[in-house]
């Protein structure tokens, strides 16, 4: 009897191990789902701010693209969760079928026992079976048989009750899993409806923007010009810093090649390198709305845009903060782009632009996450921060350095 229960438990345990592994995958998917839902809510918040401007804007289109992308990924995640639920249903059904088969076998065996017991139901018959033995040895064997038969009957009852109990548990669990699938399918259908609405909204914005092609190209040229001015300003500052560092190293009789670093600056530089992928975001909340490098313009077919950093959309009045400790080496004025701040971290530089108000000045020592100023909100109700990371004269992709949300 104990072996039967152990074997049944082993079967359930094997399924439990498989289900637990799937459950861990399901937890990861549910966590991803929460993050995507949070991103969609935040993008809605940004869109509501830009909606105050009745004229369609590139920023509005970019945010809609982010929202649609997050929604599509959310649906994909939900479908992956459905696949795991289907596997869980199959696993539960396997246990259910096995337990049902076992229960039927046990009940059939018990019915045979009852029929046999009914034929020899009186205590007199059982005694006669013992006393009618030809010798003591046979009487002892018959007595042992009766005792074993009684124990077997009792064990069968326990097995039936145990199997029935496990069967009921599996039935409840299976129904719960099926209900969760039903709820998730309903949620997916709801997400598809929202996605369709968002794509229609996007097409409306695209149509409006394409009707203003001349205006958009002019704005693109102005942005390109401002980016080039920022790049030249950064390069001038870097060249000047390298010149001064080399002169200081030469006077001290040290190697003056490249960008000479003091021991403290070298340690800071190494620390910055060690924190790649772990640096805090320059705003408390935000979405990357324009990536690093060259990519297609969101509204002008065949037009490419170049970004030396990343653009992060955030809410009005957000505070820009330092991504790492260092020293403010320059405050830059960008025509049409507000103010910019450059912070040196050994051989690395972080550059932040589009400030409405600054809290720091050249020469200030700053710590990680220290507030630098307030990001500007333009006439289109757009609140965007531009971030660049340089290593000496090489531009790096900031997305690879920031903490993955």
Fold of 261-400: Glucose Permease (Domain IIA) (2.70.70)
C-beta of residue 298 within 8 angstroms of C-beta of residue 368: no
Q: What is the mean pLDDT of the chain?
A: 83
Inform me whether the pLDDT recorded for 146 exceeds 60: no
pTM of the model: 0.74
The SS3 of residue 396 is: strand
CA distance readout (Å), 378 to 266, 288, 316, 337, 396? 39, 18, 10, 10, 27
pLDDT at residue 98, as a whole number: 80
Neighbour tally for 113: CB within 10 Å: 15
Neighbour tally for 197: CB within 10 Å: 10
The SS3 of residue 22 is: helix
Q: How many CA atoms lie within 13 A of 251 on its CB side?
A: 6
Q: Which residue in 299, 30, 64 sits closest to 202, CA to CA? A: 64
What confidence tier does 22 reach under pLDDT thresholds 50, 70, 90? low
- Residue for token pair 């079928």: 97
Q: Encoding tokens for residue 237? A: 């500052």
Domain ranges of the chain: 2-210, 261-400
Query: Which tens digits make up the pLDDT trace of 360-376?
Result: 999 999 999 999 999 99
21 vs 111, residue with greater confidence? 111
pLDDT at residue 124, as a whole number: 39
Inform me whether the pLDDT recorded for 50 exceeds 90: no
C-beta of residue 171 within 8 angstroms of C-beta of residue 96: yes
Share of the chain above pLDDT 70, in %: 79
pLDDT at residue 132, as a whole number: 60
What confidence tier does 11 reach under pLDDT thresholds 50, 70, 90? low
Inform me whether the pLDDT recorded for 201 exceeds 60: yes
pLDDT at residue 54, as a whole number: 59
Neighbour tally for 95: CB within 10 Å: 22
Residues 328-357: what's their mean pLDDT?
90
Kindly report which listed range (48-52, 82-86, 236-240) carries the lowest average pLDDT score: 48-52
Please list, in sequence order, all residues whose beta carbon lies within 8 angstroms of the beta carbon of residue 316, skipping any fewer than 6 positions away.
49, 377, 381, 383
Inform me whether the pLDDT recorded for 53 exceeds 50: yes
Query: Which tens digits make up the pLDDT trace of 33-44?
Result: 999 899 999 888
Share of the chain above pLDDT 90, in %: 42
pLDDT at residue 283, as a whole number: 97
Distance CA 228, CA 236 (A): 12
Query: Which tens digits make up the pLDDT trace of 256-302?
Result: 566 777 888 889 999 999 999 999 999 999 999 999 999 998 888 88
Neighbour tally for 283: CB within 10 Å: 20
Q: Encoding tokens for residue 164? A: 């029935």
Residue 108, Cα to own-chain centre: how many angstroms?
52
Kindly report which listed range (44-48, 283-287, 383-387) carries the lowest average pLDDT score: 44-48
367 vs 133, residue with greater confidence? 367
186 vs 146, residue with greater confidence? 186
What confidence tier does 395 reach under pLDDT thresholds 50, 70, 90? very high
Inform me whether the pLDDT recorded for 398 exceeds 80: yes
Q: What is the DSSP letter of 283?
A: S
């Amino acid at each position: 009897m104990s072996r039967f229960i152990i074997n049944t438990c082993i079967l359930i345990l094997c399924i439990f191990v498989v289900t637990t592994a799937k459950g861990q995958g399901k937890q990861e998917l549910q966590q991803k789902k929460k993050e995507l839902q949070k991103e969609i809510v935040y993008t809605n918040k940004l869109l509501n701010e830009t909606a105050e401007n009745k004229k369609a804007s590139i920023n509005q289109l970019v945010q809609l693209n982010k929202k649609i992308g997050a929604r599509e990924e959310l649906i994909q995640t939900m479908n992956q969760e459905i696949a795991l639920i289907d596997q869980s249903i199959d696993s539960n059904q396997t246990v259910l079928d096995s337990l049902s088969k076992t229960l039927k076998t046990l009940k059939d065996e018990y019915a045979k026992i009852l029929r046999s017991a009914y034929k020899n139901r009186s205590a007199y018959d059982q005694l006669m079976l013992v006393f009618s033995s030809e010798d003591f040895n046979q009487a002892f064997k018959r007595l042992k048989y009766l005792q074993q038969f009684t124990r077997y009957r009792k064990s069968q009852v326990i097995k039936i009750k145990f199997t029935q109990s496990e069967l009921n548990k599996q039935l409840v669990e299976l129904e719960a899993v099926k209900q969760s699938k039903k709820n998730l399918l309903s949620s997916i259908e709801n997400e598809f409806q929202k996605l369709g609405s968002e794509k229609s909204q996007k097409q409306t914005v695209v149509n409006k923007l394409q009707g203003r092609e001349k205006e958009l190209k002019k704005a693109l040229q102005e942005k390109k010009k401002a980016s080039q001015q920022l790049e030249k300003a950064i390069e001038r500052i870097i060249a000047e810093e390298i010149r001064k560092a080399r002169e200081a190293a030469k006077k001290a009789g040290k190697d003056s090649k490249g960008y000479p670093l003091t021991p403290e600056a070298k340690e800071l530089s190494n620390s910055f390198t060690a924190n790649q992928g772990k640096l805090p975001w320059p705003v408390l909340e935000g979405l990357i709305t324009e990536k690093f490098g060259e990519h297609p313009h969101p509204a002008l077919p065949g037009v490419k845009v170049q970004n030396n950093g990343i653009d992060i959309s955030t809410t009005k009045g957000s505070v820009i903060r330092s991504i790492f400790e260092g020293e403010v080496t320059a405050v830059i004025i960008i025509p049409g782009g507000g103010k910019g701040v450059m912070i040196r971290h050994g051989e690395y530089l972080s550059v932040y632009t589009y400030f409405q108000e600054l809290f720091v000045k050249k020469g200030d020592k700053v710590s990680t996450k220290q507030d630098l100023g307030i990001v500007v909100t333009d006439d289109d109700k757009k609140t965007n921060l531009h971030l660049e990371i340089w290593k000496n004269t090489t531009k790096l992709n900031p997305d690879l350095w920031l903490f993955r949300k």
